Amino acid sequence: MFGIVSDLSRWAVPIVLLLVPLLAMLRGVNVYEKFVEGAEAGFGTAIKTIPFLVAMLVAISIFRASGALDMMTAVLAPVLSLVGFPAEVLPHAIMRPLSGGASLGIATDIIKTYGPDSFIGRLVSTMQGSSDTTFYVLTLYFGSVGISRYRYSIISGLCADFTTLIASVYIAHKLFGPA
């Protein structure tokens, strides 16, 4: 199973790059011209995201550096450990939707400290692998088309993250047993 999937991952892009120009050519498309025509919009799309990303990442960066995260952890940890949620992974859980780089850093640190095959290490690996950086994705995707009113997107994104978190803790307890 893993072999097939990783082969598929390795081959996916090269196959697309082989088939797409070939099939376009067979359809009578001027492939080079068409490629350039599409690629033209790339610069504008990327640049358009700058103000949105700056706004979001500055706020996240200040929030992180201020020590507010540590305060949140200190308050929440005793409550959560009552329901079998290990306090060690709480900083990761809070950081995951906000910053991909920071949460990966925290996960790496936890794996280094507790060992990758410990209960905590396996749990944080599952948490890191199963969710995405919700705030970054929303900011980037909406920003690229100039949308600043996200309606209920953040709520549904965070609900999904929360569900993923609970599911990670549940399945880790079930399969890997508590430490």
Partner 1 sequence: MVNYIWMAMMVIGVLVAAINGHVEVVTKAALEGAQVAVKTSLDLIAIITFWLGIMKLAEAAGLVQALARLVQPITRFLFPSVPKDHPAMGAIVMNLSANILGLGNAATPMGLIAMQELQKLNRGNSKEATDAMCTFLALNTSCITLIPTTIIGIRLIYGSADPTEIVGTTIFATTMGMTAAICMDRLLRYLYYRRR
CB of 121 to partner 1, least distance (A): 8
Q: 37: buried, middle or exposed (CB in 10 Å: 19+, 13-18, 0-12)?
A: exposed
Q: Which is nearer to partner 1, 46 or 79 (CB)?
A: 46
By CB under 8 A, residue 91 contacts partner 1: no
- Residues 126, 167: Cα–Cα separation, whole Å: 10
Q: Which is nearer to partner 1, 29 or 79 (CB)?
A: 29
By CB under 8 A, residue 75 contacts partner 1: no
By CB under 8 A, residue 31 contacts partner 1: yes
**3-state SS class at 150:** coil
Among 15, 18, 81, 108, contact with partner 1 (rule: CB under 8 A): 108
37: left (phi over 0), alpha (psi -120 to 50) or beta: alpha
Query: Using CB under 8 A, which of the segments 10-18, 77-85, 86-94 binds partner 1?
Result: 10-18
Structure tokens at 138: 């929303």
Angle of helix 119-130 relative to helix 100-114, nearest 10 degrees, comes to 160
Query: In the range 122-151, which residues lie near partner 1 by CB under 8 A?
Result: 122, 125-134, 137-138, 140-142, 144-151
Q: Which is nearer to partner 1, 71 or 79 (CB)?
A: 71
By CB under 8 A, residue 24 contacts partner 1: yes
Neighbours of 142 (CB within 10 A): 16
